[in-house]
A and B are shown apart, each in its own frame.
Chain A
Amino acid sequence: QVQLVESGGGVVQPGRSLRLSCAASGFTFNTYAMYWVRQAPGKGLEWVAAISFDENTEYADSVKGRFTISRDNSKKTLYLQMNSLRSDDTAVYYCTRDYRGKYFFYWGQGTHVTVSA
Chain B
Amino acid sequence: QSALTQPASVSGSPGQSITISCTGTSSDIGAHNYVSWYQQQPGKAPKIILYDVSNRPSGISNHFSGSKSGNTASLTISGLQPEDEADYYCNSYSTGNHFVFGTGTKVTVL
Among the stretches A14-22, A68-76, A106-114, the one at the interface with B is A106-114
Contact (Cβ within 8 A) A45 B89: yes
Q: A50 within 8 Å of B by Cβ?
A: yes
Contact residues of A: prevailing secondary structure:
strand
Q: Chain B contacts of A110 at CB under 8 A? A: 45
User: Which residue of chain A has its CB nearest to the CB of B101?
Assistant: A45
Q: Chain A contacts of B89 at CB under 8 A? A: 44-45
Q: Chain B contacts of A55 at CB under 8 A? A: none
Q: Mark A96-113, 1 if CB is under 8 A from B, else 0.
A: 000100111101111000
Q: A60 within 8 Å of B by Cβ?
A: yes
Given contacts A50-B99, A102-B34, A105-B57, whether A44 and B45 have CB atoms under 8 Å apart is no
Which one of B3, B93, B103 contacts A102 once the chains associate, using CB atoms below 8 Å? B93
CA distance A45 to B36 in the complex (A): 13
Q: How close is B32's CB to chain A, nearest CB, in angstroms?
A: 9
Q: How close is B54's CB to chain A, nearest CB, in angstroms?
A: 13
Contact (Cβ within 8 A) A109 B45: yes
Interface residue tally on B, bucketed by range: 20 to 34
CA distance A107 to B49 in the complex (A): 13
Q: B48 within 8 Å of A by Cβ?
A: yes
Q: CB within 8 Å of A: which of B29-60?
A: 34, 36, 38, 40, 45-48, 51, 57
Q: B97 within 8 Å of A by Cβ?
A: yes
A-binding residues in B (CB < 8 A): 1, 3, 34, 36, 38, 40, 45-48, 51, 57, 89, 91, 93, 96-104
With contacts A47-B91, A47-B100, A60-B98 known, what are 10 further pairs, Cβ within 8 A? A44-B102, A45-B89, A45-B91, A45-B101, A47-B99, A47-B101, A50-B99, A94-B45, A102-B36, A104-B38
